[in-house]
A and B are shown apart, each in its own frame.
Chain A
Amino acid sequence: MSLQTDADSPTATATPLPSTAPIGNEADAIVNDVVIQVATSNGTGSQSANLVLMRTIFEMGVPVSGKNMFPSNIQGLPTWFTIRVNKDGWSARRRDADVFVAMNPESAAEDIAGMRPGSILILNEELQKFQNRDDIHVFVVPFNKLVIPVCPDGRLRRLVVNMMYVGVVAYLLHLDVEELKGAIARQFSKKPKAAELNSNAALAGYQWAAENLPKQYKFVVKRMDKTKGKVIIDGNSAAALGLMYGGITVFAWYPITPSSSLGEALIDYMARYRHDPETGKATYAIVQAEDELAAMAMVVGAGWDGARAATSTSGPGISLMAELTGLAYFTEIPAVIVDVQRVGPSTGLPTRTNQGDMLKAYLLSHGDCKHPLLIPGNVKECYEFGIEALNLAERLQTPIFLMTDLDMGMNLWMTDPFEAPTKPLDRGKVLTAEDLNRLGEFARYRDVDGDGIGYRTLPGTKHPNAAFFTQGAGHDDRAKRSEKPEDWQGNLDRLTHKFNHARTIMPKPVLNADEGATLAIIGFGTSDPAIEEARHILRTQHGVKSSYLRLRSLPASAEVIQYLKDNDKVYLVEQNRDAQVASILRMENPELGNRIVSVLHYCGLPLDAQSIVEQLEVHLGKRKS
């Protein structure tokens, strides 16, 4: 059981005596294409260790991304962190790891059983009883013994031991020790004592590995120049930055995984950058509401007064916001809702990812209701669409949904830095007292400009003709209560006209097409990196050329409809069971509906390229279903 085995090499020997023969050879090494997965218990500080590992690789100029798979729990349950290192920048999830670090007894048996033959296991010595594979490379490390001299304080060892596997991985993958030191200094820049302790731990791990483990050449990380000028950020922080640069003034929220870190990030940014330099006072209000109903109610109340207001939530919160969303739609009040989607129904899997709120968000609330959705496909768009959402909400006087998901919101992505907005904020159609002096009067819900959008006045406007009565009840174009059929239907038709206007001003789709493409794909959101990687696999391994239209907003613009018209068959990739976006496109374009073939992924894990390729192979007749 306690054998360190090497499937590829007959020289494997038993532990604790380490083999000195190298694993793999330098000439055949896979360079800068490796997936490292670490299994720990949540609440043990392993996040810091994993970030240091990522940072070290990033500083070596090699593209890297990180995904945290964690339980809905505070301490003690298994958690996995996956770092994908890829010279070509592929950042989607890969199904299995090349290097696995097993630190958690709870998950070790299953973790080891799931490893791909030929992969590398770094195993905490105390977990040897779980090791029964002879087709993987095993490096047994006595972490709990090594940490004792490094960390005299017994209470801290549980945390510091994680930095030791960083040192071992760094040695085995040939990481740059200087970059490792720099990454630790940066990670603990505000805590010099912790920096020293962790640095010592990582270096002790590195040193021990150098003295006791054989060289490993199957997977090697070598310095490149592909991360210069890039940043690593999560989607929630990016969206929070977008809201701040969109001039948000009121944010009301209720904590819910996986959107909580968006609210927390916004609180931090606003505290730093949105206080009056002279008085120190806040140019915003952030309120933790009593529930999502109230959060949305506050956003609607603030939007009514002319504030740039937003909330963030996830599926269960969206359910609670349904009532107020209908009110805002029908009274035509600007509002922004960020939906960081998680797996439902019900509590579902709160810490797993999904695109399962698309249809619900699109039609949220009762009666004839529909809403524009912004769908960022990367963290940069989370930022840009955060700004755009606030602009569109005031322009269209309606709730705007910013649809991200847990994979986007909570995981770490490499991106080009964000750019400050160059165009002024769009504050929409608002009449002032001066405007009313000129115009004499106005009708709140009259379509003056032909775009379906009426003019509004804000409460507090000092003019006898400014006031109107906002109500969710049926009303005429002067906002007076009306139950007349022609008023009701006329209003609904104008709202449809406004919705169709939204199609023309929302972000257009992005089309990437190979020359001579024979396969058409539509996708959106976090499916993007997996789709691009799948296209690469199809192109290079199957000789199939494809075009790919990335949807960035709903309702669908003319370009999306045209793409459906141009292709007899379109594969629509989405991360939900019931093909929700396909349903939306079919509902609005029934004559094109049968052109859509769904490629679905809904197990809760982020989408991977192989899942797409396999489903497409079935459709292309290259694989049996």
Chain B
Amino acid sequence: MSATEAPKPAPAGAPSKAPATNRIGHTLQDYKGAASTLCAGCGHDSITSQIQRALFESGVNPYNVAKMSGIGCSSKTTAYFLSLSHGFNSVHGRAPAVATGSYLANRELLHICVSGDGDTASIGLGHFMHMMRRNVPMVYIIENNGVYGLTKGQFSATADKGSTHKKGFENEMMPIDACALAIEMGCDYVARSFSGDIKQLVPLLKGAMCHGGTSIVDVVSPCVTFNNHEGSTKSLKFARENEEPLQEIGFVPYYDEIKADYPEGTMKTIELTDGSKLTLKKLERDYDPSDKMRALDLLQKARDERLFLTGLLYHNPNSSKGIADQLNMVDVPLAHLPESVTVPSAAVLAEIMEEYK
């Protein structure tokens, strides 16, 4: 099923004035949350705005969303959007596992999990990997700034080798590339973006919401307080100057036609699980996001040459089975099953007891 709802026909004689509501009657305000308590200029706040916009424009029903997060600056942001949705700010690094349990209990909800690089690449790396291995349907956003902000600026595991700390010393270790790991684990939708690239991030998020399995969106999101200095490869300046988008991305919902007109051979169309599409306009590189080995190769090159490549890195056109199908689960959310279904009869118990006699 689609997380988004098809538009209702406009009532006859409705005023033609630009609507302040989306196609299910919600305003952008309905997708907002509490006021952010993050530092002024934080990349995460920009991502929060793009999440709101993607949800609003896609007409996602706020009552159908579960917001999941771990601990850290990024995880706080689930309070800053969708106050109409239930949210669960859980434990550092464990959100993928908590969200897995939540999905198993209610597979009708759109699970949006917001995490940071500490959550994903360090304390919760194992849970992150196993969530993808199980293909739990979820939009998993990594707000990646290369540092631990709440504890005042220690390097995280995604800090690039040679990137400098605020105090001047260099990171000597190889970074963990969450996108490369995701592709390796069989994740079918893997994207990287930049918090300042609104044009790209919104369609990538919309696409992630329409994908039937785990979708990973790794967003480089500069920490303006602890990692924005000269020598940092996650600073605003570095990201702005070095971002190399692989494609120009457009999103076409399942109920719309592709209208953009590009010269032949310059545009690829990616069909998503619910029938929506991403349009990928070719830029400098000729890149095929359905080629897994090519994607891994390019990410390795990016790591070696310190390239900041963004866009849709990998999409598997033959989506893998999600966890609900792997477990052959009923369509009804397990949490809603009545007792008549979940408690076997007394006759069954008598039958079982007979086997132990």
Write the residues of chain A forming the contact surface with B, with a CB cutoff of 8 angstroms.
229-233, 241, 244-250, 252, 269, 273-274, 276, 279-287, 289-291, 293-294, 297-309, 323-324, 327, 331, 417-421, 424-425, 457-464, 466-473, 481
Q: Provided the pairs A250-B104, A273-B348 are in contact, do residues A297 and B336 lie with their beta carbons within 8 angstroms?
A: no
Q: Does B357 contact A (CB under 8 A)?
A: yes
Q: Provided the pairs A280-B328, A323-B94 are in contact, do residues A269 and B104 lie with their beta carbons within 8 angstroms?
A: no
Question: What's the nearest-Cβ distance from chain A to residue B88, in Å?
Answer: 5
A290 touches B126 (CB 8 A): yes
Q: Provided the pairs A285-B329, A309-B101, A309-B105 are in contact, do residues A290 and B339 lie with their beta carbons within 8 angstroms?
A: no
- 24 pairs from A and B in contact (CB 8 Å cutoff): A244-B344, A250-B105, A269-B352, A273-B344, A273-B348, A276-B341, A279-B330, A286-B327, A289-B130, A290-B130, A293-B127, A294-B97, A297-B94, A297-B101, A298-B104, A301-B103, A301-B105, A303-B101, A304-B101, A418-B353, A459-B102, A464-B84, A467-B62, A467-B84
Identify the closest chain A residue to B126 (Cβ): A290
Identify the closest chain A residue to B356 (Cβ): A231
User: How many pairs of residues, A versus B, come closer than 8 Å at their CB atoms?
Assistant: 220
B104 touches A418 (CB 8 A): no
**Which B residues are in CB contact (< 8 Å) with A285?**
104, 323-324, 327, 329, 334
Q: Does B52 contact A (CB under 8 A)?
A: no
Identify the closest chain B residue to A276 (Cβ): B330
Question: What's the nearest-Cβ distance from chain A to residue B187, in Å?
Answer: 16
B102 touches A305 (CB 8 A): yes
**Which B residues are in CB contact (< 8 Å) with A458?**
86, 106, 335
A301 touches B342 (CB 8 A): no
- B301-335 residues with Cβ-Cβ distance < 8 A to A are 323-324, 327-331, 333-335
Q: Which of B63, B334, B342 contacts A462 (CB 8 A)?
A: B63
Beyond contacts A246-B343, A417-B353, A467-B86: 14 other A-B pairs, Cβ-Cβ < 8 A, are A250-B105, A281-B331, A284-B329, A297-B97, A298-B97, A299-B101, A301-B98, A301-B101, A305-B106, A417-B357, A419-B346, A420-B345, A469-B88, A472-B89
**Which B residues are in CB contact (< 8 Å) with A462?**
63
Cα A231 to Cα B352 with chains together (Å): 10
A300 touches B105 (CB 8 A): no
B63 touches A460 (CB 8 A): yes
**Which B residues are in CB contact (< 8 Å) with A425?**
339, 342-343
Q: Provided the pairs A244-B344, A420-B345 are in contact, do residues A289 and B330 lie with their beta carbons within 8 angstroms?
A: no
B106 touches A459 (CB 8 A): yes
B343 touches A305 (CB 8 A): no
Q: Does B109 contact A (CB under 8 A)?
A: yes
Q: Does B21 contact A (CB under 8 A)?
A: no
Q: Does B5 contact A (CB under 8 A)?
A: no
Identify the closest chain B residue to A301 (Cβ): B101
Cα A472 to Cα B98 with chains together (Å): 13
Q: Provided the pairs A250-B104, A323-B94, A459-B86 are in contact, do residues A231 and B353 lie with their beta carbons within 8 angstroms?
A: yes
Q: Which of B330, B336, B346, B350 contacts A306 (CB 8 A)?
A: B336
Cα A241 to Cα B68 with chains together (Å): 32
Q: Provided the pairs A283-B337, A300-B90, A304-B88 are in contact, do residues A245 and B100 lie with their beta carbons within 8 angstroms?
A: no
Q: With a 10 A CB-CB cut-off, give which of A231, A300, A305, A461 has the most chain B CB atoms.
A: A305
B88 touches A470 (CB 8 A): yes
Q: Which of B84, B134, B330, B350 contacts A283 (CB 8 A)?
A: B330
**Which A residues are in CB contact (< 8 Å) with B78?**
469
- B69-109 residues with Cβ-Cβ distance < 8 A to A are 78-79, 83-91, 94, 97-106, 108-109
Question: What's the nearest-Cβ distance from chain A to residue B106, in Å?
Answer: 4
**Which B residues are in CB contact (< 8 Å) with A230?**
357
**Which B residues are in CB contact (< 8 Å) with A464?**
84
A307 touches B335 (CB 8 A): yes
B127 touches A294 (CB 8 A): yes
Cα A276 to Cα B63 with chains together (Å): 28
B108 touches A460 (CB 8 A): yes
Q: With a 10 A CB-CB cut-off, give which of A304, A421, A458, A459 has the most chain B CB atoms.
A: A459
Cα A308 to Cα B101 with chains together (Å): 11
A467 touches B352 (CB 8 A): no
Q: Does B157 contact A (CB under 8 A)?
A: no
**Which B residues are in CB contact (< 8 Å) with A229?**
357
**Which A residues are in CB contact (< 8 Å) with B127?**
290, 293-294, 297
Question: What's the nearest-Cβ distance from chain A to residue B133, in Å?
Answer: 8
Question: What's the nearest-Cβ distance from chain A to residue B119, in Å?
Answer: 13
**Which A residues are in CB contact (< 8 Å) with B335?**
249, 302, 305-307, 458
Contact with A along B41-53 (1 / 0, CB 8 A): 0000000000000
Cα A413 to Cα B339 with chains together (Å): 30
Question: What's the nearest-Cβ distance from chain B to residue A283, in Å?
Answer: 5
Q: Provided the pairs A273-B344, A274-B344, A294-B127 are in contact, do residues A307 and B87 lie with their beta carbons within 8 angstroms?
A: no
Cα A352 to Cα B101 with chains together (Å): 32
Cα A403 to Cα B333 with chains together (Å): 30
**Which B residues are in CB contact (< 8 Å) with A245?**
343-344, 349
**Which B residues are in CB contact (< 8 Å) with A246?**
343
B349 touches A297 (CB 8 A): no
Q: With a 10 A CB-CB cut-off, give which of A248, A285, A307, A458 has the most chain B CB atoms.
A: A285
Identify the closest chain A residue to B78 (Cβ): A469
**Which A residues are in CB contact (< 8 Å) with B88?**
301, 304, 331, 469-471
B339 touches A247 (CB 8 A): yes
Q: Does B64 contact A (CB under 8 A)?
A: yes
Q: Provided the pairs A231-B356, A279-B330 are in contact, do residues A461 and B63 lie with their beta carbons within 8 angstroms?
A: yes
A233 touches B356 (CB 8 A): yes
Question: What's the nearest-Cβ distance from chain A to residue B95, in Å?
Answer: 8
A301 touches B100 (CB 8 A): yes
Q: Which of A247, A276, A471 contacts B343 (CB 8 A)?
A: A247
Q: Does B272 contact A (CB under 8 A)?
A: no
**Which B residues are in CB contact (< 8 Å) with A291?**
126
Cα A469 to Cα B103 with chains together (Å): 17
Identify the closest chain B residue to A421 (Cβ): B343
Question: What's the nearest-Cβ distance from chain B to residue A453, in Å?
Answer: 19
Identify the closest chain A residue to B98 (Cβ): A301
Q: Does B202 contact A (CB under 8 A)?
A: no
**Which B residues are in CB contact (< 8 Å) with A473?**
89
Cα A303 to Cα B102 with chains together (Å): 8
Cα A286 to Cα B334 with chains together (Å): 12
**Which B residues are in CB contact (< 8 Å) with A287?**
100, 104, 134, 323, 327
Question: What's the nearest-Cβ distance from chain B to residue A235, in Å?
Answer: 13
Question: What's the nearest-Cβ distance from chain B to residue A391, in Å?
Answer: 11
Cα A362 to Cα B357 with chains together (Å): 36
Cα A461 to Cα B86 with chains together (Å): 9
Cα A232 to Cα B355 with chains together (Å): 9
- B225-251 residues with Cβ-Cβ distance < 8 A to A are none
B91 touches A418 (CB 8 A): no
Cα A460 to Cα B88 with chains together (Å): 13
**Which A residues are in CB contact (< 8 Å) with B342?**
247-249, 274, 283-284, 308, 425
Cα A233 to Cα B97 with chains together (Å): 33
Q: Which of B79, B94, B323 contacts A469 (CB 8 A)?
A: B79
**Which A residues are in CB contact (< 8 Å) with B217?**
none
Cα A481 to Cα B33 with chains together (Å): 13
Q: Which of A284, A471, A481 contacts B334 (CB 8 A)?
A: A284
B90 touches A298 (CB 8 A): no
A281 touches B329 (CB 8 A): yes
Question: What's the nearest-Cβ distance from chain B to residue A544, in Å?
Answer: 37
Cα A304 to Cα B90 with chains together (Å): 11
B339 touches A424 (CB 8 A): yes
A298 touches B349 (CB 8 A): no
**Which B residues are in CB contact (< 8 Å) with A302?**
101-102, 104-105, 334-335
Q: Does B66 contact A (CB under 8 A)?
A: yes
**Which A residues are in CB contact (< 8 Å) with B83?**
467
Cα A472 to Cα B106 with chains together (Å): 22
**Which B residues are in CB contact (< 8 Å) with A300?**
90, 98, 101
Question: What's the nearest-Cβ distance from chain A to residue B68, in Å?
Answer: 8
Cα A468 to Cα B342 with chains together (Å): 28
Cα A308 to Cα B338 with chains together (Å): 11
Identify the closest chain A residue to B94 (Cβ): A297
B64 touches A231 (CB 8 A): no
